[in-house]
Structure 1
Amino acid sequence: MNIVGIAGSPTRPSRSTALLRQALAQLEAAGGHSRLIEVADLPAQAILRAEFRDPSLVAAVEAVEAADVVVVATPC
């Protein structure tokens, strides 16, 4: 099972990202392979300008497209 976690918190450390990491660890223990994408690590200008050819955005989109499961965590 291919799992992608998307952490939407702009701050570090983040409680929502910590919970996401724990969920991904449990899914991996059940036989999955996971990857964590932290939105804060993606280039803000590329996101704001919808530069969908930016290599970081391309890689993130490809990871989500290939995932069997996507888990999203955002702060309240």
Structure 2
Amino acid sequence: MTSDAPKPDTDLSFEEALSQLESIVSRLESGQAPLEESITLYEKGARLKALCEERLKAAQLRVDQIVVGSDGKAARAEPAGFD
């Protein structure tokens, strides 16, 4: 049984959250949203931005832990250097 109800923000993948955030930015930049809707959109955008940053940080930590050796196997933990 599937539902068309929107997922809570925390259940979104990075890609879904980023797509929604891009849509919100476009809507806000258009200047067509009424004030109350703009405020609601801004609040949701702030939550989505934080979620994206959290997901990126978690991904960076995972990458930081993996360094592949010449044999194709994980050799040792080393920072990935994304900073």
Q: Between Structure 1 and Structure 2, which shows a larger proportion of helix residues?
A: 2
Q: Between Structure 1 and Structure 2, which shows a larger proportion of strand residues?
A: 1
For the pair shown, the structure with the greater C-alpha radius of gyration is 2
Task: Determine which structure has greater relative contact order: mean sequence separation of CA pairs < 8 Å that are 6+ residues apart, divided by chain length.
Answer: 1
